[in-house]
Each structure stands twice: as C-alpha cells, then as structure tokens.
Amino acid sequence: MRQFNTSSQDFILLGFSDWPHLELLFFVVILIFYLSTLVGNTAIIVLSHLFPQLHTPMYFFLCHLSFLDLCYTTSIVPQLLVNLHGSDRTITYGGCVTQLFITLALGSAECVLLVVMALDRYAAVCQPLQYTTIMQPWLCLLLATISWFGGFVNSVAQTGLMMTIPLCGLHYLDHFFCEMPVLLKLACKDTEQTEAKMFVARAIILVLPASLILGSYVYIVQAVLNIKSAAGQRKAFETCGSHLMVVSLFYGSAIYTYLQPTHRYSTSHGKFAALFYTIMTPMLNPLIYTLRNKDMKAALRKMIKRDRKTKIR
C-alpha cells in the first residue's frame, strides 16, 4: 500500500454513511442527547456550588466528573453533528491527532476519577466516624489533580506511540471520530510491538481501576450488610448504587473497544459501542445521580422553587 503524507492530506470520517437513510434520525437523536448532556451536567455543577449541603467530597468529585463529561462529549459530538448534516466529512491530520489526544486524556482521567469516587464511597460507608477526618479538602483536591494528571500522561504516551506509526492506503476512517483502534487499521507495517505497549497502557488505565473499584465494593457490601438498620442499609445502597451503575456503563463499553486486538476490531460494532460511552453515558450520569440521590433532588427542588418565586415577584 502507498504511504500517504499525513502532514498534507486530510482524513475522511465515514461515520454512519453506510446507513444514509438513518443519518437524519441519528442527527436528531444525538442532538437531543447532547443537549441533555449539556443541561444535566451543567445543572450538577451549578447545584453543587450553590447549595451548602452539597459541599461534600462526593459532590466535589461529581462536579469534576460532570465537567469531564462536558468536555469529552464536546470534543466529539459537534463535529459528528456537522458530518451527519452536511457533505464535508474531512478532518485534518493535525485535527485528528488533537482530537485523539483530547479524548484519550479525558477518557483516561475519568477512569482514574471513578476510582477516586469509589474510594470516597468506601471511606463514607466503611469508616463513617473517620470520614471527615480522612477526606479533607486538601486530599480531595490532590486526588482530583492526580486524576487529571494521570489522564493526560496516559494520553501523551499513547498518542506519541500512535504518531510513530506510518499510515498507508486511502485516508478513510470508518468511524465518527479519530479513535485509536481505527487509526491502527491504517498502519503500513506490523504494529505488534507498538500495540503491545499500547495494550499495557490501556490495561493499566482500564483494568487496574476497574479491579480497584470492584475490590472496594466488596468491602462496601460487607460493611452495608453489617448495618443493623434496614433504613441505613437502604441509604448506603442508594448512595453507592448510582456510582456502581456509572462504573458499569462506562467500563463495560470502554473495555469492549480498547482491550481487543486490532485485527478482531469490528468498525461497525465499534461505532455503536463508541456511541454508548461518548454520548449515552455522559447523558445518563446526571439522571443517575439526580434521580437516585435525595440531596441532589432536594437541591433541584429548591432551585425550581427559587426560580418560581423570582418570576412571581
């Protein structure tokens, strides 16, 4: 195959062009999901800052998760909507690498942040008397910083490895954004060694956090079952259940995409899996955390009442 000059040629994102009759439906549905993501995650950030009862470590980390989701979807969805609505589906090589770097950084940061949130729930349920002593503001800030920094370090490593691989053939990407498995399919040469390094990096950022989260929840479940009060058990399960649901949605789809060999990667299946963790999960996060959380629902009701009183005046 002919190696193309990535510095001068653009990529063409095929997206969902295999189903032209469904592109309008995709456009409408994705637009609704994206707007819901913007409204829901922004609401969580605003509510968490306005109401003192939400000034706790759990909501501090939740604000970071919401901001991550806002940035992550915005790095992908607007371009997807333009591609679905118009005829120009091109993206420059520089734009593609930038998008790859940003999405990897934000996705990796979310992997680490979900571990931090699991540790926070572990401290709240298993060490309730020492919780405020353990989760002090400086520690929360440090853990959040580690999440962001770890995500960007992983992205630098993987994007750097990707840029060393020469790409060949037609510059068509059978996807709706620049994602690692699709770019690897354009490789000119055997990428086994590079893929092995990438696999180790992805395993560290996906499997290790998922294992730590599952391990923390084993201890959480044991602690909850030791609570004598049925009301106490229910409250503990409600508090942790929302986080566990987010973890299952996010890690399930991400592990499916990133922990399979390139030659087994199906672009058609990969596109729909990517829709799940790039659009569905960020949209569902606010719903899960607000509808299943009494404090957040109470804050939302107060906000609505305050707005009504202001309009009446």
Question: Mind listing the pLDDT tens digit for each residue in 86-105?
Answer: 777 888 888 999 999 999 99
Q: Between 225 and 69, where is the model more confident?
A: 69
Helix (H) or strand (E) holding 12: strand 10-13
Q: Give the separation between CA 65 and CA 290, rounded to whole angstroms.
A: 14
The pLDDT value recorded for residue 21 is 85
The pLDDT value recorded for residue 243 is 67
154 and 201 Cβ atoms separated by less than 8 Å: yes
Nearest to 178 by CA among 98, 254, 250: 98
Nearest to 43 by CA among 292, 242, 299: 299
In this structure, of 35-44, 70-79, 234-243, 265-274, the range with the lowest mean pLDDT score is 234-243
The pLDDT value recorded for residue 60 is 94
| Residue 28 neighbours by CB under 8 Å, 6+ apart | none
DSSP string for 248-289: HHHHHHHHHHHSS-GGG--HHHHHHHHHIIIIIHHHHHHHHH
Domain range enclosing 157: 12-304
Distance of CA 160 to the CA centre of its chain: 21
The residue ranges of DSSP E strands in 164-262, in sequence order, are: 172-173
Question: Mind listing the pLDDT tens digit for each residue in 237-270?
Answer: 766 676 677 778 788 888 888 887 777 777 777 7
Question: Mind listing the pLDDT tens digit for each residue in 207-240?
Answer: 898 889 888 888 888 887 777 777 767 766 766 6
309 within some domain: no
312 within some domain: no
144 within some domain: yes
165 within some domain: yes
DSSP string for 27-92: HHHHHHHHHHHHHHHHHHHHHHHH-GGG-SHHHHHHHHHHHHHHHHHHTTHHHHHHHHHSS--EEE
CATH number assigned to the domain comprising residue 284: 1.20.1070.10
Q: Using the 8-state DSSP alphabet, how is residue 21 labeled?
A: G
297 within some domain: yes
DSSP lists the bridge partners of residue 167 as 187
pTM: 0.87
- The number of distinct structural domains making up the chain is 1
Q: Give the separation between CA 132 and CA 304, rounded to whole angstroms.
A: 30
5 within some domain: no
6 within some domain: no
298 within some domain: yes
Interhelix angle for 230-258 vs 267-275, to 10°?
150
With pLDDT > 90 as the criterion, what percentage of the chain qualifies?
27
Q: Which long-range contacts (CB under 8 A, 24 or more apart) does 140-143 make?
A: 140/57, 140/60, 140/61, 143/61, 143/116, 143/119
In this structure, of 81-90, 145-154, 301-310, the range with the lowest mean pLDDT score is 301-310
